[in-house]
């Protein structure tokens, strides 16, 4: 069902359905970029850490590094916000 409205500028606008969700478009573009990244970085990379030695595709290594970095940054931000909140509570007494 199409609806129409008069906008005051002399043009009649019609709207067909709910439209395209921008988040869905952004997610689709992000997934496409990730798939391209993975296909372009398939060569193996050696990783040595302490007594572990792994051979992983470069894309897996880079994505894992990004995920771990985001997790650590999120935890640090959470601890800083928690500490600031406690300091604010303590100063209001």
Measured between alpha carbons, how far is 17 from 53 in angstroms, rounded to an integer? 55
Q: How many domains is the chain partitioned into structurally? A: 1
Domain membership flag for residue 30: yes
Tell me if residue 46 falls in helix, strand or coil: strand
Cα–Cα distance list, 68 to 20, 65, 84 (Å): 33, 5, 24
pLDDT digit string (tens) for the chain, length 93 residues: 555 555 566 666 566 667 788 888 899 998 899 889 888 888 998 989 898 898 988 888 888 888 999 999 999 999 999 988 888 887 555
pLDDT attached to residue 17: 62
- Identify whether 1 is part of a domain: no
Enclosing domain of residue 45: 21-91
Establish if 15 belongs to a structural domain: no
Q: Are 57 and 44 in contact (CB under 8 A)?
A: yes
Residue 84 lies in a domain: yes
Angle between helices 58-91 and 22-40 (to 10 degrees): 130
**16 DSSP β-pair partners:** 2
What are the structure tokens assigned to 78, written together?
A: 């959470």
């Amino acid at each position: 069902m199409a609806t129409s409205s008069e906008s005051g500028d002399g043009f009649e606008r019609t709207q067909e359905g709910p439209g395209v969700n921008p988040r869905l478009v952004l997610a689709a573009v992000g997934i496409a970029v990730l798939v391209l990244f993975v296909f372009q970085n398939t060569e193996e990379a050696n990783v040595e850490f302490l007594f572990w030695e792994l051979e992983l595709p470069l894309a897996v290594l880079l994505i894992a590094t990004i995920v771990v970095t985001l997790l650590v940054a999120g935890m640090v931000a959470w601890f800083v916000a928690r500490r600031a909140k406690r300091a604010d509570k303590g100063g209001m007494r």
